[in-house]
Amino acid sequence: MLSSGTQASVSARNLTKQFGQRLSVDNLNLNIYPGELYALLGDNGAGKTTTISMLTTLLPPSSGEFFICGFNGLTQAEKIKGCFGVVSQDLAVYNELTPYENLKFLSDLYGLPKKLGEERIEKLLRRAGLVDRLNDRTENLSGGMMRRLAIACAMINEPKVLFMDEPTVGLDPAARRLIWATLKELKSAGVTILLTTHYLEEAELLADRIGIIRSGRLTIEGTVPELAQRIRGMRGISIRLVQECSVDSAPIAAAIDLLKSKFDLEVRLDNLRNTIYLTQLADDDVEHYHKEVFAWLYQENIPFLRFATGEPNLEEVFLAVSRDEVAK
């Protein structure tokens, strides 16, 4: 495990951005270690893009400081520019150029020697699955292809750190998977990645650590299991009922009361998913409890589609944070 003694690849200290009266990023403290994939999650307007804009020197912070690969972002801006790549939320690729020309332009911009540049372009086009489209105009590529091209462009300088602002937004499931595969490949090549996303399962799947930002503040941070542990009353059983039987109907309420009389339970009803969440508050024999609840479903004739036990998923964690249910 990475210790705090390891020098962080990305480090923010009290990083703050104020636009007029609005505090868009509020004293953000963040450390991302070499080779780590850190997912920054948050609602629209939470401050994700503003954070990335500051870390990539596009936006000057109102206060605070940051370091990329050990260089001070404020006083050594020129040095840090060689260390990172960015895939921005509004893809910065040239539509009128071909994928090859986009990469060639950047290769020349970075002053890569011709042979090395050509080798990198070939490798990146292959990794992006764009070899057979290398001479098409970029504007004629699909959304997923454009995004893979944007990632390739960000990698031309072989940066140690990659910032990716919602790299999979608006993509179909197959295209998202391709991006995930690319991210995993980059990660195994030792690239440190800061990724923002709204897709919780994406963060859960890819990230070593997750931070949740709300109104500019980093509210919670940790690995998925750590986050789950910090949430009260979420480890338990979820029972998804068949559509015809609503979680808030009278017969279900009566059946739940019966169950409550047997166990010390917290019950949460999710109408949207038609799901009952049960959390056992006492630390009793869990296996026995699971069996009893399962038997209870049959006894009470409760028609269900799914019965699951275990850790909350990230969406539940996220909802709990939104409800301020985090155990302090």
Ligand X SMILES: Nc1ncnc2c1ncn2[C@@H]1O[C@H](COP(=O)(O)OP(=O)(O)OP(=O)(O)O)[C@@H](O)[C@H]1O
* Contact set with ligand X (CB under 6 A): 19, 22, 24, 42, 44-50, 89
Give CA separation, 308 vs 98, 241, 249, 252, 278, in Å. Answer: 49, 12, 21, 18, 10
C-beta of 3: minimal distance to Mg ion in Å?
31
**Is-contact 146 168, C-beta < 8 A?**
no
Smallest separation (angstroms) from ligand X to the CB of 43: 7
Q: Which range in 82-90, 100-108, 116-124, 299-307 contacts Mg ion by CB under 5 A?
A: 82-90
Cβ proximity to Mg ion, 117 vs 211, nearer residue: 211
Q: How many CA atoms lie within 13 A of 164 on its CB side?
A: 34
Answer for the pair 25, 31: CB distance below 8 angstroms, yes or no.
Answer: no
Nearer to ligand X, 48 or 148 (CB): 48
Binding window for Mg ion (CB under 5 A); candidates: 7-15, 40-48, 122-130, 143-151: 40-48
Residue 42 contacts which entry, Mg ion, ligand X, none (Cβ below 5-8 A, type-dependent)? ligand X
Query: What is the length of the chain?
Result: 328
**C-alpha pair distances (Å), 153 with each of 31, 86, 115, 192, 315:** 25, 9, 17, 16, 32
Which of ligand X, Mg ion, none has residue 167 at its interface (CB below 5 to 8 Å by kind)?
A: none
Asked if 49 touches Mg ion (CB under 5 A), the answer is yes
CB of 228 to Mg ion, least distance (A): 26
Minimum Å distance from CB 173 to ligand X?
20
Judge contact between 230 and 222, C-beta under 8 A. yes
Residue 53: CB minimum distance to Mg ion, A: 9
State which of positions 236-295 bind Mg ion (CB under 5 A): none
Q: Which helix (H) or strand (E) holds 236?
A: strand 236-241
Which residues, listed in sequence order, are joined to residue 30 by a DSSP beta bridge? 12
Choice between 66 and 163, CB closer to Mg ion = 163
Integer Cα distance of 312 and 317 in angstroms: 7
